[in-house]
Amino acid sequence: MTFPLIMIDQATSLIIDHRGKTPKKLGSDWTASGHRVISALNIKGSRINENDHHYVNSETYAKWMKIPLAAGDTILTSEAPLGEVAYLKRDVDWVLGQRLYALRTEPSLAVGRFLFYALQSPLVRNDLDSRATGTTVFGISQVELRKVQIPCPPITEQRRIAGVLGVLDDKIESNRKQQYIGERLLRALIERIFSQFSEADFTTFDAYCTHSKESVRPENVVSGDKYIALEHMPRGSVFLNSWENVEHAGIASNKTRFRQGDLLFGKLRPYFKKVGVAPVSGVCSTDILVVRPRLREFLPLITVVASSDALIDSISASATGTRMPRASWKDIGAWPVPRIADETLIVLLQPANQLMAFLEALSFQNLRLAELRDALLPELMNGRMRVDEAGQLVNKALDEEVVDV
């Protein structure tokens, strides 16, 4: 069964479009705190990330957002890149910034979360891309956006489709929250170990790890390898949830080889705090330092130390370069840490290693759930798969236990 199509103009009751607005045009300026301003840079992987953003005061917010964002709105990037989406599950007092639209559905014709998923389907993406204009940067005007067509099954069917896909995204988000809480516990475990040796001699960070510098030419990249760049690394989290196959990465320059269980440290603008454990083996950008624990059991320790605020702040202050500062392994390796005998440390780190294995396994579960969601989405949007059938596959995936890697 193929669903009828309607234009976004019909499916929406409101399109919020503040492209081109700036605080200065409203007689103000950015502030250090207040109402968060999101831009296209914050929309990635179908969610709003915590990367850099600006703030404005309440007076500017009131002028800028005369109609506030609300639960059920879909955020869509208009260019650079075009077509990234995010869904608001709650009301927020944020400002809609550069290169963004907010779409609010007409309740009698469309469900907000269904529109969010429809915009990710190949059918709608092709229509969206075909209406884009530009030479170096492709973007879509509001006039053309309104002409884009989306599937329009009955409202009850829209809710069911959005529900079955939403269960997967909700579980992925729940896993991310578990990783966030688990990371705080991991830090507490390492800090407790260090507190037991506060009176001990100190050594340097590189006593527990080494800097691996195995360079790989593009022609020597192995088919099936995974590729990790800075954009795959979340800010402020040591657990990576995304990477790509080298075949799709378009590798044209030398990279650095890493192994599963290495620590990846983003040396470009280290204050972005892009430090994470490699969940797979492969190659990475040369803007990433590959840090290898001298013993695998040391991984929790080097992860917590390398991603600590104290080390990051110190390394950022000593980084070379003004516009694009880079961290140095020499500075990282020289960071002071307590000297603990290997045999003692291995025993003390057992709980931390068990916790880290579980938290890493959540990344792989998220990958499997995202793959299932991406496979089901076009089938449901085209009416080729019944919602009940999709629901069975989703329930089976959710019932699978998380297995430590």
**pLDDT of res. 379:** 97
Spell out the residues 6+ positions from residue 336 whose beta carbon is closer than 8 angstroms to its own.
202, 203, 204, 205
**pLDDT of res. 166:** 97
Does the pLDDT value for residue 14 go beyond 90? Answer: yes
Nearest to 173 by CA among 81, 281, 66, 90: 90
Average pLDDT for 379-383: 95
Spell out the residues 6+ positions from residue 237 whose beta carbon is closer than 8 angstroms to its own.
179, 180, 183, 276
Structure token pair of residue 307: 């991603």
The pLDDT tens digits for 118-153 are: 999 999 999 999 999 988 888 999 999 999 999 999
Average pLDDT for 59-80: 96
**pLDDT of res. 52:** 65
DSSP-derived secondary structure letter, 139: B
Domains detected in the chain? 5-152 (3.90.220.20), 154-174+340-404 (no CATH), 201-339 (3.90.220.20)
How large is the C-alpha radius of gyration of the chain? 23
Average pLDDT for 307-330: 92
Does the pLDDT value for residue 368 go beyond 80? Answer: yes
Question: Sign of dihedral through CA atoms 264, 269, 274, 279?
Answer: negative
**pLDDT of res. 64:** 96
The pLDDT tens digits for 348-359 are: 999 999 999 999
**pLDDT of res. 353:** 97
As a whole-number percent, the residues of the chain with pLDDT over 70 amount to 98
Rounded to two decimals, the pTM is 0.89
The pLDDT tens digits for 96-121 are: 998 999 999 999 999 999 999 999 99
Q: Is the preceding peptide bond at 122 cis, omega within 30 degrees of 0?
A: no
Does the pLDDT value for residue 268 go beyond 90? Answer: yes
